[in-house]
A and B are shown apart, each in its own frame.
Chain A
Amino acid sequence: MVSGNKSSDSIDLKGAPLSLAEGARGALLSFLRETLDNGLLDALLIPMKVPAGDSYAWVLVKDKSLLEDANPFAPIMPVQGARALSSITKHGAPDLRIGAVLRPCEQRAAIELCKLKQLDMEKVVFITLDCPGVIPLKDWFSDPEKGETQFQQLLEKGDFLSPQMRPVCQICDKMSAPIDVDNATFPDIHFALLGVPENKGLLIPFSDIGNELLEKTGQALSSDTQTWQSKVKEINAQKCGKRKTAHEKLDKEISGPEKFPKAFAFCINCHNCMRVCPVCYCQKCYFDSEMLKHSADTYLERSMKKGSLWFKPDSLLFQIGRLSHMSLSCVSCGTCQDACPMDIIVGQVFAFSSDQTQQAFEYAAGRNLDETLPMRIYQEDKELPEVCSMCKDVLESGEDQ
């Protein structure tokens, strides 16, 4: 993983072309197989079809024969990749060089987890890909085979705007390597599919390790990446517009003390959303802890005050509280929404809300590994005039101390 400013238009990147004769999956897999073969990587973290064939799961693979069932372009995201990577490295890096094949949002979540000290990147080689989104689990399980072919088709067509993907995927403006972002952290290698010559995919190295991997597997950096870059920027800009419209619409639907509870009216307090969230790493969630449990008489009193008390209580406290805990690191992956048994649009709400919290601090979750989490730093009197009148005075008077 490497950070730096690569966003100018004149960015000079080269890529190694891979033939897509066997599809995007086949092309990337054959490269990965080689890295295992040559001992460049000791293991791969990659989505793999489960034995029943109806879902995917993350597998840490050492034996390359297992790669038969692997699919870096899994049509679904049952477990967020950063969560899988964190489970391997949170107690320190294993003595293995692991290639993690992730989607861009998974890499962003991994960066956040690294800042939160829940993931060790030292031995990890990040390989990301152009991501068309993923199919919601509910749609997938109604007919996995159909989902598989559908996804295959839109991958071949290069359709990155499909309405069949998760709602947050449809408005994701970070579906590729962050070339359009100032001062971002890049993966070691990115596998590009957009705007590339026909029947070719491009392996684009961003770091020394990435270059080394390509060199040692005999991949020549013979292709120009300008068309990919402009296509990525074009799609991202398009989706950014969609995101804005979608969030304006959502704002009207859920904002305000009347409407917000309605969005969560069906919540049954299973906390699935929290358990699958890649950045909710606490072993014991505060909202499941003893801190929120009170005596029976307290609950009775609360009920008397309002006439009725929704039970289990504090359901909205959980939702808003969780926003306060993790929205600055939310990568809008939508895994929470997939895990909700009551079809609550929790992923959309969280994406909408975290966009705003992150903007307030000019922060973007997972953008740059070296950026400090906003809640860990402050500027004494120069920030957030809207919440602090003294800061406002200082800023307005132009005084600088």
Chain B
Amino acid sequence: MSKILKTNKGAEKCLQDFLKHLLESGKAKAVMALSKTVATDQDYTLNYSLISSTEELDNALPFFPLMPANAGKLVSYLTLKGPISAPIAVVLKPCELRAFVELVKREQGHLDNLLIISHSCGGVLTFDSYLNGNLDQDIKAYWGAVRKNQIPDKVRPTCKACIHFEPYTADISFDLIGQDLDQTCQITVMTDKGESILDGFDVKWTETKADPKTAQDLKALRQKAKDGLFESINADIYGIDNLIDVFGRCIGCHGCSNTCPICYCILCDFESKDHEFEPNIFEAEIIKRGGLRVPPNTLLFHIGRLSHMGISCVSCGLCSDVCPVEIPVSTIFSKVGEAIQDLFKYIPGKDLEEKIPLTKFEKQEFEEIEDK
């Protein structure tokens, strides 16, 4: 089911009030959303919080275009040991939601008792503009672009190229893109649960119809940006020498895998003893090559990680942002990930019921890769 409702209230205010209503009415015991955590000299020190009091809710900025951590990974962390016993609401961006769905498929989280609120997403600021930019000005420009159905300037490269900017499996989605955000608020109620939870929220909704053109236009714009991005990254990474050039500066911090919402292993294969070299291997390798980069296995880590999680990569872009040496990790993973996903016609996180392609098979397929 899908129903579109509209009201005369600013979008941000509307969500704030709605979250407050949920807490007050006891429909949710807590809310997970971006909020100001520690007061510092800076205006915005944002992190995700699990908020349970209405006063603390005043610090929440759920629509703020920032992703300090992939909230899908955080909800998975929250519900890893089992479903939560009381209902809570989580505000997730579409890619965070997709990541969470992928994690649930991998038995790393539970959907029970979660009310999922999402929104159409204009992208998130890079850490660089968050930390070093003129935030007030950037935020203003950001919402300006979102209202006008354009691609904001200072968002992550993969956000500019993201065509999955509308949530697939939320209960309620706030439509932000192409909307007048100050005066009205338009939401899409996507499930029965969403519908029932709206009951008792004291706002006059009027049912309306969506204008499919808005989303189509943006999709076309983003598709074009994506083609351009992939083309340029392809020129940078194609072939072993280019790969060595791109990943040559990797310092092995594995921040990309630590923050990756799909990389859930407790101990990453590439940090395990399996991939440490015994002394004799060093001897053999330096005889063969004349020298060997240490610690070894830089390329193995990245290509190996692609083979492990590329099928589920949601292109959230966090890996690029945490990279201290500015390797365009997310662009590479997004491109190669999409190639793998296309192979199986799979969109990660779109449908909870759809199995991960590598865990199923058809009896007759891919016969072209076998030796005759």
Q: Residues of A at under 8 Å CB distance from B?
A: 43, 45, 48, 50-52, 54-55, 57-63, 65-66, 78-79, 83-84, 87-96, 137-138, 141, 261-262, 265-272, 275-276, 283-284, 288-290, 293-297, 299-300, 303-304, 307-312, 338-343
The 4 nearest A-B residue pairs measured at CB: A63-B290, A50-B248, A94-B279, A307-B53
B252-A276 in contact (CB<8A): yes
A311-B48 in contact (CB<8A): yes
Q: Kindly list 18 other residue pairs between chains A and B, CB separation below 8 angstroms, not including A91-B277, A262-B40.
A: A51-B244, A51-B245, A54-B248, A54-B249, A87-B277, A87-B294, A87-B296, A94-B280, A94-B283, A95-B280, A137-B251, A271-B255, A295-B82, A296-B78, A300-B50, A300-B85, A309-B50, A310-B38
Interface size for chain B: under 10, 10 to 19, 20 to 34, or 35 or more residues? 35 or more
B276-A87 in contact (CB<8A): yes
A141-B322 in contact (CB<8A): no
Q: Is B205 an interface residue (CB 8 A)?
A: no
Name the distance in Å between B1's Cβ and chain A's nearest Cβ.
28
Residue with the highest number of chain B CB atoms closer than 10 Å, among A94, A307, A340, A341: A341
Name the distance in Å between A324's Cβ and chain B's nearest Cβ.
21
Could you mark each residue 248-278 of chain B with 1 if its beta carbon is under 8 Å from any beta carbon of chain A, else 0? 1101111100110000001100011100111
- Give 21 CB contacts A-B under 8 Å: A50-B244, A50-B248, A52-B249, A57-B293, A59-B293, A60-B294, A66-B290, A78-B325, A79-B295, A84-B295, A87-B277, A88-B282, A91-B277, A262-B40, A266-B131, A268-B47, A293-B80, A300-B30, A303-B51, A312-B48, A338-B324
Name the distance in Å between A147's Cβ and chain B's nearest Cβ.
13
Q: Residues of B at under 8 Å CB distance from A?
A: 29-30, 32, 35, 37-40, 45, 47-53, 55-56, 59, 68-69, 74, 77-86, 88, 110, 127, 131, 241, 244-246, 248-249, 251-255, 258-259, 266-267, 271-273, 276-280, 282-283, 286-287, 290-296, 321-326
A60-B282 in contact (CB<8A): yes
Contact of B272 among A52, A283, A309 (CB under 8 A): A283
A299-B266 in contact (CB<8A): no
Known: A60-B291, A283-B273. A296 touches B81 (CB 8 A): yes
B294-A45 in contact (CB<8A): yes
Known: A78-B249, A265-B37, A307-B55. A61 touches B280 (CB 8 A): no
Chain A residues within 8 Å of B326, by CB: 141
A276-B37 in contact (CB<8A): no
Contact of A294 among B81, B85, B266 (CB under 8 A): B81
Name the distance in Å between A71's Cβ and chain B's nearest Cβ.
14
